[in-house]
């Protein structure tokens, strides 16, 4: 046990963790494992920690031209073992610009193309063990123009939701993919009803 390390100096930053070595682990198609030999600067203790070297991801809030509805993909997800309600997205190819990947994923997964693209703030999906970012985009003026071109590992149902339906789906948990929520939060007010009461603002 120790005193909180920053009760007097809010500007202090954590110490670096010396890395004494690193070894490559298994390759998993969507990421590769790496094991770093790290030293805790607080205790001097050495430990091995896994990092998944992962391509950057991208996803897109695409609003339809006529009704400003959100283009939605529904698909079976292997991790959760169930269907999800998401926005289009995927892995960025090696050397591909995030915007190019966003346009490609929207077109391939849904057949929609859009006229106006705005980059939103990227997030780190989980800096504890992933080294990547997820890039978010807002695409406006979306219209069905092309046909789907699904990857071998995809079977995707395309639909649209109104903005109000999508916000309600986040509140109910029907939309629960964290990286959909981090995109939506930049465009829609996702606060729970009545939450302001608690906050003393």
What part of residues 43-72 is at the interface with its own copies (CB under 8 A)?
43, 45, 47, 49-52, 63, 68
- Residue closer to its own copies, measured from CB, 44 or 95: 44
Which x/- pattern, by CB under 8 A, does the window 128-167 give for its own copies?
xxxx-xx---x-x---x--xxxx-xxxxxxxxx--x----
Q: Phi/psi zone of residue 67: left (φ > 0), alpha (ψ -120 to 50 degrees), beta?
A: alpha
Contact pick of 23, 30, 97, 168 for its own copies (by CB under 8 A): 30
Contact pick of 37, 38, 56, 99 for its own copies (by CB under 8 A): 38
CB of 188 to its own copies, least distance (A): 7
For the record, the structure tokens of 152 come out as 């071998």
Q: How far is CA 180 from CA 73, 122, 133, in A?
A: 11, 12, 14
CB of 30 to its own copies, least distance (A): 6
- Residue closer to its own copies, measured from CB, 13 or 95: 13
Contact pick of 84, 96, 104, 143 for its own copies (by CB under 8 A): 84
Contact pick of 76, 97, 115, 168 for its own copies (by CB under 8 A): 76
CB of 43 to its own copies, least distance (A): 7
Asked if residue 99 binds its own copies (CB under 8 A), the reply is: no
196 three-state secondary structure: helix
CB atoms within 10 A of CB 92: 22
* Nearest CA-CA partner of 51 in 110, 129, 157: 129
* Concatenated DSSP letters of 56-77: -EEEEEEEETTT-PEEEEEEEE
Asked if residue 24 binds its own copies (CB under 8 A), the reply is: no
- Report the chain's terminal Cα–Cα distance, integer Å: 35
- In whole angstroms, give the CA distance from residue 39 to residue 7: 24
Contact pick of 60, 120, 142, 166 for its own copies (by CB under 8 A): 120
Q: Residue 102: phi, psi to the nearest 5?
A: -65, -45
Asked if residue 104 binds its own copies (CB under 8 A), the reply is: no
């Amino acid at each position: 046990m120790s005193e909180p390390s920053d009760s007097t100096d809010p500007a202090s930053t954590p110490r670096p963790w010396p890395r004494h070595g690193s070894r490559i682990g298994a390759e998993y198609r969507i990421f590769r494992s790496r094991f770093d030999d790290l030293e805790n600067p607080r205790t001097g203790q050495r430990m091995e920690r896994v990092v998944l070297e992962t391509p950057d991801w991208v996803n897109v809030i695409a609003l339809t031209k006529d009704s400003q509805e959100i283009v939605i993909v529904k698909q079976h997800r292997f991790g959760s073992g169930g269907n999800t309600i998401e926005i289009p997205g995927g892995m960025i190819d090696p050397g591909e610009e995030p915007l190019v990947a966003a346009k490609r994923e929207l077109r391939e997964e849904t057949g929609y193309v859009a006229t106006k693209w705005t980059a939103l703030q990227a997030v780190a999906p989980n800096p504890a063990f992933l080294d990547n970012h997820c890039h978010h985009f807002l695409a406006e003026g979306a219209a069905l123009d092309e046909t789907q071109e699904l990857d071998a590992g995809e079977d995707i149902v395309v639909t649209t939701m109104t903005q109000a339906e999508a916000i309600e789906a986040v509140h109910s948990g029907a939309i629960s993919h964290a990286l959909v929520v981090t995109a939506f939060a930049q465009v829609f007010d996702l606060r729970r009803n009545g939450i302001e009461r608690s906050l003393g603002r």
